[in-house]
Amino acid sequence: MSLGIGIVGAGGRMGRMLIDVVQRQPGTHLAAATDRSGGEAVGRDAGELAGQGALGVRVGDDIDAAVAASDAVIDFSLPEATEIVAAACARNGRPLVLGTTGLGEAQQAAIDGLAQQGAVMQAANYSTGVTLLTALVEQAARAIGVQSDIEIIEAHHRHKVDAPSGTALRLGEAVADALGRDLRQCAVYGREGQTGERDRQTIGFETIRAGDIVGEHTVLFGGDGERIELTHKASSRTTFAAGAVRAATWLVEQPPGRYDMRDLIGV
């Protein structure tokens, strides 16, 4: 039986890509699509938005109705929607794949609340390659992190509104956890002026915003006489959309709880 997927943020860059992947992939179909009330996507045919031709599914602005009409929900929108989506998933008993980044404490708490009663996956990056990169970065941090200066460099398109990227922060947490450090204490965001010498205990973040870069992340371990750079480059948003749809089909089989992509791909 085909899995009916509801998409929140359907009019966005990721939303349109998700509509396309959901419709093309065997075993899934678009059950509902929703976007911000008053947004230009609302009222339009979701298939036409995604450049596929009419599908007969109109983009609505009622999150609860969209969730109720779906077997699983994928949300790539803005943090403003997260608490409403989490509450709707809890009320209707639907699993949630959350891709939105830049969440605050209240939104994270809403996801924790949902995980008590339903399955929720939250990943800062749904690509298989970045999931693997995170595991490799942890391994490198454990092996050489203590004697290295660790810098995380990320680049994204000019429309991205949060920085550093959710993926960069997740990579930073992976490094900090592997080294027994607290990222909130040791992160340094950008540098300017008389910074003094670098403290080896810190983890540095640098952000690039330019053009149409889909997403690039490098974790650099700088030692004496050598350095290691682990890099992932996304060349198309399809990788995130395909990962999120794969996550939704996996999540409907899981008991309540919080999951991430590492649970799915087993690293």
159 flagged as catalytic: no
| Binding flag, residue 12, ligand NAD (CB under 6 A) | yes
- Minimum distance from residue 67 beta carbon to ligand NAD (Å): 12
| Binds ligand NAD by CB under 6 A, chosen from 80, 182, 199, 229 | 80
Question: Does residue number 145 form part of the binding site for ligand NAD (CB under 6 A)?
Answer: no
Q: Pick out residues in 95-124 that bind ligand NAD (CB under 6 A).
A: 99-102, 123-124
| Choices 30-38, 146-154, 171-179, 224-232; region in contact with ligand NAD by CB under 6 A | 30-38
Pick 14 or 176: Cβ nearer ligand NAD: 14
Determine if 257 is a binding residue for ligand NAD (CB under 6 A).
no
CB-side exposure of 253: number of CA atoms within 13 Å? 6
Q: Which residues contact 59 (CB under 8 A, 6 or more apart)?
A: 10, 11, 33, 34, 35, 41, 42, 43, 44, 45, 46, 49
User: Cβ-closest residue to ligand NAD?
Assistant: 12
Check the CA dihedral 257-139-141-193 and report its sign: negative
Looking at the Cβ atoms of 61 and 177, the one nearer to ligand NAD is: 61
Burial of 68 (0-12, 13-18, 19+ CB in 10 A): middle
29 is catalytic: no
Catalytic position from the list 29, 157, 159, 160 = 160
Task: Considering only the stretches 31-39, 112-120, 200-208, 245-253, report the one whose residues sit in contact with ligand NAD under the rule CB under 6 A.
Answer: 31-39
For every residue of 123-191, which 3-state class applies, written as one string? CCCCCHHHHHHHHHHHHHHHHHHHHCEEEEEEEECCCCCCCCCHHHHHHHHHHHHHHCCCHHHHEEECC
Distance between CA atoms of residues 211 and 240, nearest Å: 19
Q: Interface with ligand NAD by CB under 6 A: which residues?
A: 8-9, 11-15, 34-36, 39, 41, 76-78, 80-81, 99-102, 123-126, 240
